[in-house]
Amino acid sequence: MQIHKNASLKEYNTFGIDVTAKQYIAINTEEELKHILKRFYAEELFVLSGGSNILFTHDVEATVLHIQIMGLKVLKEEENEVYIEAKAGENWHAFVLWCLEHNYGGYENLSLIPGYVGTSPIQNIGAYGVELKDHFVSCKAIHKQTCEEITFTKEECKFGYRDSVFKNAFKNQFIITSVCFKLSKGNHHLKTEYGAIKEELSQRKIDNPSIKDISDAVIRIRESKLPDPRKIGNSGSFFKNPVVDVSFFDNLLELNPEMPFYKLTDGTYKIPAGWLIERCGFKGFKKGDAGVHKRQALVLVNYGKASGEEIQQLAKAIQYKVQQEFKIQLETEVNII
């Protein structure tokens, strides 16, 4: 384990923002993590995972702990289900591909989502009709101040739409070190109705899709709409899709009959934030090297040398315009530091 002084974080965040950390430490084991936590006060540490859900707007005057604990293990197998433990430093998409190789179903709709396994419960990541919580069992986490290891059940995580207890009551208190999932081994329950998956399968003349077919369809859809962060700096969806009550929805739909929407099980309605942003004229917008992607208005991008502050100012301009036009306050999905 090495400590690097005044380290650049450019290669550790998918926006490609070039900021400097006071110190940088790559953490490869739970023992290393506990050792470091005992040496520092919690407020002196900044925990970094895959860097795919963060926008740096200034240098980090703290010691950055980059969680790179690796490992995949089958904990238990039943006739139709399998329990998998994935360590926090595992790349999420690589984990999904590993599941497909072993015919473990459940997360094929979450293919190509950037980031690490360890932060997936914090955000309750989701796409194309599937959320992390759907196959989540528990996660292990270490308290930053006491170094106590605690196991959180699904109920204790209090998952919501892009939300969990780790973003609220326990914000910045724990570091997740591993996650346990329950996946199917056969008789997979496929979700093909959400988004363009059904259309993609139809175009490829696939009537009886496998979980690999679903994953391939999702990958093709995402690649056609979203920029590769290795080529254009971005963090995927920058804003959450707003959820509104039925009264607000009815009024909005009357004014905008062409508006797309998704009715949720609790009777509320989810409005695509990308549609709102596009209607406000920001799709393809560019100012300097900060911009809105030309194919997906929900994605803010760094075309080269944009600063975090410039991208943040663009986000604020979008929020202001959407509020003015639709009376909806967009919330950021990306953490702004």
pTM metric for this prediction = 0.82
- Nearest-angstrom CA–CA distance, 106 and 145: 35
Catalytic residue flag (residue 162): yes
Catalytic residue flag (residue 247): no
Catalytic residue flag (residue 202): no
Domains of the chain: 3-67 (3.30.43.10), 72-184 (3.30.465.10), 233-336 (3.90.78.10)
Local confidence pLDDT in tens for the 337 residues of the chain: 778 899 999 999 999 999 999 999 999 999 999 999 988 777 788 888 878 889 999 999 989 999 999 999 999 999 899 999 999 999 999 999 999 999 999 999 999 998 899 999 998 999 888 999 999 999 999 999 899 999 999 999 999 888 899 988 998 899 999 999 999 998 899 988 876 888 888 888 988 999 999 999 999 998 888 888 888 999 888 999 999 999 999 999 999 999 999 888 888 999 999 999 999 999 999 999 999 999 899 999 999 899 999 999 999 999 999 999 999 999 998 889 8
Catalytic residue among 111, 162, 164, 178: 162
Catalytic residue among 85, 131, 310, 333: 333
Q: Which two tokens stand for residue 82?
A: 């399998």
Catalytic residue among 120, 184, 237, 307: 237
